[in-house]
Amino acid sequence: MTVVVGTDTAKTRRTLNVGNQSVSYYSIAAASEAGLGDFTKLPAALKVVLENMLRFEDGGRTVSVDDIKAFAEWAKKGGNNPREIAYRPARVLMQDFTGVPAVVDLAAMRDGIKALGGDPQKINPLNPVDLVIDHSVMIDEFGNPRAFQMNVDREYERNMERYQFLKWGQTAFDNFRVVPPGTGICHQVNLEYLAQTVWTDADQNGEQVAYPDTLVGTDSHTTMVNGAAVLGWGVGGIEAEAAMLGQPISMLIPEVVGFELTGRMMEGTTGTDLVLKVVEMLREKGVVSKFVEFYGEGLDHLPLADRATIANMAPEYGATCGFFPIDDETLRYLRNTGREEERVQLVEAYAKENGFWRGADYAPVYTDTLSLDMGTIVPAISGPKRPQDYIALDTAATEFGKFIKGLREDKDASENAEVRWEGEGGAPEPVHIPGDEGHHARGHVNGGEADRAQLHDGSIVIASITSCTNTSNPYVMIGAGLVARKAREMGLTRKPWVKTSLAPGSQVVSHYLEAAGLQEDLDAIGFNLVGYGCTTCIGNSGPLAPEISKCISDNDLVATSILSGNRNFEGRISPDVRANYLASPPLVVAYALVGDMNVDITTVPLGQDKDGNDVFLKDIWPSSKEIADLVEKTVTREAFQEKYADVFKGDEKWQAVDISEAETYDWPATSTYVQNPPYFKDMDPKPGKIEDIKSARVLAVLGDMITTDHISPAGSFKESSPAGQYLIDRQVPVREFNSYGSRRGNHEIMMRGTFANIRIKNEMLSGVEGGYTKGPDGDQTSIYDAAMAWQEKGVPLVVFGGEQYGAGSSRDWAAKGTALLGVKAVIAESFERIHRSNLVGMGVIPFEFTGGDSRTSLGLTGEEEVSIEGLADVKPLQEVPGTIKMADGSEKTITLKCRIDTEVEIDYIKNGGVLHFVLRSLVAA
């Protein structure tokens, strides 16, 4: 990235001398001295954005002096001045599920600009882009020493077309690097290696300039790096592509909620327990589209690994970011993870000089505040469907019972089913639950003698230590290893119906687990290494044993999973699992030992030792000192330096991937993974206008908390689905289907997968789950088939939703698929930040109900026709009339709030989307 010198604010540029370094920087204090306002009370998170304004001020073309002054007004107005600004992050982070479609779009834009008479080389990232391949490993093998290598082999077999495409992109595009498979999860690689907290680069005069490290990422958990005082958040791939190509991110100066942490964590609790409570509190508070900044004396006792865990889950509490200012702990972490000493010294000097340091006198203005004494934290889990559904561990069994009662009140759960399976480990012990007749499963283990066990509502069939959220934290990972060691010593092991797995976020984790001798203990109870990457947390949990899957299906059992991840939405983890719980890695191990959510593991024995004595959770739970001593001994600077020395090199498999070096991509006609999307075909060089929506039909009526997983699932799909039929028609066997996430480079599959989650409920149909609706003839059909039928008739479509529409992942295909199905508008009670932006980026207009109206108050059935007027000259956040023609011919006129939030977004909609806007701008230039 080249740093551009501002015009009117060039006088705010000063020099900082640190050791042997001399760098320029844009001084916030100098801006105050220049009469631009008093910025001393701004939160550190907002000072990062202010510095961005100072550095890119250009006389008003994108950043004006008034934009800078607005930050001083923000503080005067008590943390509220929602002025539109143009923000430029320093870099972009991607993973392969979202990165492949982004690179597909860039390749298609090269074709598009060439067709319009422009230069394909104009389609190049102007800002550095790092793509980490971490979302493609699937847990086919588990619980044995061969699991890692066999899963890697299958990953390459399934994904070779995608990897060839990404490797071509690395060669074809400037400023684009790929971290190969098997290295780690993008957010952990970012935290441990890529992020610098304070960046340096040359300006157009060749002078070195220091500035805060900032980024956007195509994964919602990009926020994890906020724990290291790096301002970053998730955006859709569409918005990230625009940022790569030099387009500033249009945003409003956000409100900043201050979250005060006091006290310190008690013995027996973990950072995961803390973050689950934080998620619950902030969801209840309501922080969507707001910054959250953590402050208070409690930070003096909170390791950066725990901070990163809290920051990681910002999407779960709905915030744009969860930021921690720079302090002594930031410096300690940077040193310990192998950053150069010169860099660490620069971070400290810059932070103190430019007002970013959290010292004893740190007391900024916040829009609002809340507080938590960390001494009140208790062990906890959350579930069974949402991360914010916090449950204290000692009430978990009771709460699960209530959940089952709600599901089963009209069903008879007393049928018996028998199943046999082959497993590993010792013979399963009976799990007896008073009053529960259950669904019994009989199995034999290692060819040994059969023993009686139960498979019933609440049986834990997946226990997975996975995800960037917790595997980045050595305290909970070492803790999990110690629980495994103590369990092993006492003769306990996982129940044989539990699919156990360990998928660390980086190779450093394996290094310290092995150095501590704990990997051997984890292996002994089934938590063998299965791969480095996102697995269970994104639905890549792999298949259950066929007999177990059949038993669950045949008896309509509510099987459960327990994972150390950040997401537990319906239908996400496994098609066989109905209830999913988030927990710390040590608790994941403990639950694998009992294999049952009905068991109160705080009071009921986990099993018996070799002498027949009861073993309780407290008997195998490590002390904080045990954990801290091992972390100190094994998590070393040298380990990070060694594991990241050749981070872009990859193994022999990656090095052997063969590619072409053409300027434009030669799209393989037979590929079912990568296809040229239709966005830029026959594109007019000039933009159009925003047109009213006339007599649109309803594609779906959806409820509250419809996530991007509901809209565009990432996991597996069946042969009978529209996507499955597409592949069958092209002679792809079911075994090679892979997942929706891995096929995001093929719009034909992704269109067919839109609104196709197995748990989505379209209220146009009664008692039906899955991607179904009513077609033009009124009969039930797939959403894809109905959308294509309406398109043939030239009829526009709308979708209705409830509150928090589009929560969850920053999944651009949730917007792309919506647009390609012919949906012109989504009308909901409220939108989550990223999905609203993505819809606009694809030319789909989001509208919100006003005046207490909703799909339920209006009695919508999906038989209506919808017209929305006044769009030709619409302004940001303007209210417009919407007319709903009911099935009986009567009409209701309501007021809708147009959620095109900024003037720049008006231009995006006029162009049909942000990429069309950028492409036309590049041609015009």
Whether residues 600 and 489 share a domain: the answer is yes
Whether residues 618 and 698 share a domain: the answer is no
Tell me how far the alpha carbon of residue 230 is from its chain's centroid.
17
Whether residues 600 and 703 share a domain: the answer is no
Whether residues 452 and 593 share a domain: the answer is yes
Q: Please check whether residue 352 lies inside any domain of the structure.
A: no
- A 10 A CB-CB count for 779 gives 8
- 440 or 244: which leads in pLDDT: 244
Q: Please check whether residue 143 lies inside any domain of the structure.
A: no
Instruction: Give the pLDDT score at 411.
Output: 53
> Averaged over 901-920, what is the pLDDT?
92
Instruction: Give the pLDDT score at 661.
Output: 83
> Averaged over 704-726, what is the pLDDT?
92
Q: Please check whether residue 134 lies inside any domain of the structure.
A: no
Asked whether residue 418 carries a pLDDT value surpassing 80, the answer given is: no
Residue 2: pLDDT band (50, 70, 90) is very low
Residue ending a domain, among 72, 87, 102, is 87
Tell me how far the alpha carbon of residue 395 is from its chain's centroid.
28
Q: Please check whether residue 545 lies inside any domain of the structure.
A: yes
Whether residues 608 and 735 share a domain: the answer is no
Residue 414: pLDDT band (50, 70, 90) is very low
Domain interval for residue 76: 10-87
Q: For residue 675, what are the CA distances in angstroms to 311, 519, 672, 874?
A: 36, 42, 7, 35
> Averaged over 288-307, what is the pLDDT?
96
CA angle 227, 511, 474 (to 5 degrees): 35
Please, what is the average pLDDT of the chain? 90
Q: Please check whether residue 216 lies inside any domain of the structure.
A: no
CATH of the domain at 416: 3.30.499.10
| CA torsion through residues 659, 664, 668, 674, sign | positive
Instruction: Give the pLDDT score at 534.
Output: 83
Which range (40-54, 94-108, 320-334, 750-764) has the least confidence?
94-108
Q: CA nearest 869: which of 843, 895, 891?
A: 895
Three-state DSSP at 881 gives strand
Whether residues 723 and 853 share a domain: the answer is yes
Q: Please check whether residue 303 lies inside any domain of the structure.
A: no
pTM of the predicted model, to two decimals?
0.83
Residue ending a domain, among 22, 56, 87, is 87
| Most confident stretch, 55-59, 137-141, 315-319, 843-847 | 843-847
Which range (258-267, 409-418, 615-624, 704-713) has the least confidence?
409-418
Residue 10: pLDDT band (50, 70, 90) is low
Asked whether residue 537 carries a pLDDT value surpassing 90, the answer given is: no
Three-state DSSP at 742 gives helix
Asked whether residue 256 carries a pLDDT value surpassing 70, the answer given is: yes
H or E element in which residue 500 lies: strand 499-502
Q: Please check whether residue 242 lies inside any domain of the structure.
A: no
> Averaged over 71-79, what is the pLDDT?
95
CATH of the domain at 919: 3.20.19.10
- List pLDDT tens digits, range 309-355: 999 999 999 999 999 999 999 999 999 999 999 999 999 999 999 99
Instruction: Give the pLDDT score at 453.
Output: 61
Asked whether residue 415 carries a pLDDT value surpassing 80, the answer given is: no
> Averaged over 125-144, what is the pLDDT?
88
Whether residues 735 and 856 share a domain: the answer is yes
Residue ending a domain, among 42, 65, 87, is 87
> Averaged over 600-615, what is the pLDDT?
95
Whether residues 618 and 764 share a domain: the answer is no
Asked whether residue 845 carries a pLDDT value surpassing 50, the answer given is: yes
Would you state the structure tokens that stand for residue 240, as one six-digit string?
Answer: 């990230």
Q: For residue 830, what are the CA distances in angstroms to 313, 631, 762, 802, 849?
A: 20, 44, 18, 7, 8
H or E element in which residue 168 lies: helix 147-172
| Most confident stretch, 404-413, 445-454, 528-537 | 528-537
Residue 439: pLDDT band (50, 70, 90) is very low
Asked whether residue 430 carries a pLDDT value surpassing 90, the answer given is: no
> Averaged over 595-602, what is the pLDDT?
96
pLDDT above 90 coverage of the chain, percent: 73
Q: For the chain, what is the domain count?
A: 3
Contact partners, residue 423, CB within 8 Å, separation at least 6: 443, 445, 446, 496, 497, 545
Whether residues 603 and 706 share a domain: the answer is no
Whether residues 614 and 702 share a domain: the answer is no
Which range (88-92, 369-373, 439-443) has the least confidence?
439-443
Q: For residue 56, what are the CA distances in angstroms to 72, 291, 351, 659?
A: 18, 22, 20, 38
Q: Please check whether residue 329 lies inside any domain of the structure.
A: no
Asked whether residue 9 carries a pLDDT value surpassing 70, the answer given is: no
- List pLDDT tens digits, range 858-886: 999 999 999 999 999 999 999 999 999 99
Asked whether residue 451 carries a pLDDT value surpassing 60, the answer given is: no
